[in-house]
Amino acid sequence: MACPASQVPSHAMACLVIPSSTAPVARRPSFTTFMSFVYSPFSQSSRARNAWFCAGLASAYPNVHDSSRVSEQRLCRGKYSPACRIFHVPRDDSAKASQVSIDDWRDPEAGDPKDQVMIFQYKGKFFAINHECPHSSYPLSNGSAFDIEDFGVVLSSGISCPQHDWSFDLHTGKSDRGSYKLQVWEVELRPGKFQDEETEIWVRRRQKIG
C-alpha cells in the first residue's frame, strides 16, 4: 500500500532530495509530438474503431448463385440457413461486433441499423456492405445479387434494392442512379486457428485515406 507523505520518516525524505543539476527536467512536448498525438491514425480510439472482427467460418455461408433474396434460406453443410449474416458493429469498438437476427434488425436491442453490416457470398466471392440501403434505409437483406454485364461480359457484381429498384455495385458502392453510394466494407479470408484451420471471414469498415 502507498505510504502517505505525512508518514514518511524525515531521513527517508532526505534521500528523496535530488540535486537540481541532476534533477529530471519536465520538458514541454514539441509541437510535432503534440500534433501527432492529436491526429495519429494509430491512436487507441482510431484502432478500436477500425478493428477487424471475425464473422464466422467461410464454409457456413451458402454460396448464392441465383437472383432470389439474399436472405433466402439455402442449403449449406447439410442444413438450410439464410445466405447472409447481419452484424451490429459499434463505431467506438468494432471488435465488439455481434450478430443480429435478420428478423430483428430493427429491434432497438440490435443496435443502430446504420451500424449494421451484411455479409454474404455471391458466386464464390465474399461481400460486406451496409445493411441499410443508402437511398431510403430499406434492408438490403431483401435485395438480390446479380452480375453487372455489358454485352454479355461480366464487369462486376451488384445488388438491387426491391424498395425502389435501385442497384449498387458491390465493389465500389456506386449506384445506378444519382450520387447515392453504398458503403462497402473490407473483407479478408484468413486461415483459422481453431476448428481444423477452416477459413474464417474477417471484416472491418473500409479505411478512409487522407
Closest CB to ligand FES among residues 51, 148: 148
Residue bearing cell 458502392: 173
Beta carbon of residue 150, minimum distance to ligand FES (angstroms, whole number) = 22
Q: Three-state DSSP class for 177? A: coil
Do residues 100 and 111 lie in contact, with contact meaning Cβ atoms separated by under 8 Å? yes
Residue with Cβ nearer ligand FES (100 or 133): 133
Which residues here bind ligand FES, judged by CB under 6 A? 133, 135-136, 138, 161, 163-164, 166
d(CA 174, CA 181): 5
Which distant-in-sequence residues (6+ apart) come within 8 Å of 191 by Cβ? Answer: 197, 199, 200
Q: Which is nearer to ligand FES, 54 or 102 (CB)?
A: 102
Smallest gap from residue 146 Cβ to ligand FES (A)? 14
Minimum CB distance to ligand FES, residue 98 (Å): 25
Q: Which is nearer to ligand FES, 89 or 161 (CB)?
A: 161
Closest separation between CB of residue 72 and ligand FES, Å?
A: 18
Residue 61 C-alpha cell reads as 455461408
The residue (of 53 and 138) whose beta carbon lies closer to ligand FES is 138
Distances (CA, A) of 61 to 19, 78, 103, 110, 156: 69, 12, 18, 21, 21
For ligand FES, give the closer residue by CB, 59 or 142.
Answer: 142
- In whole angstroms, the minimum distance from the beta carbon of 166 to ligand FES comes to 4
Instruction: Provide the 8-state DSSP code for 17.
Output: -
Name 52's Cβ contacts closer than 8 Å, sequence gap at least 6.
Answer: 94, 95, 188, 202, 203, 204
To which H or E segment does residue 31 belong? helix 31-39
Residues facing 154 on adjacent strands: 149
Residue 164 beta carbon to ligand FES: minimum distance, rounded to whole angstroms:
3
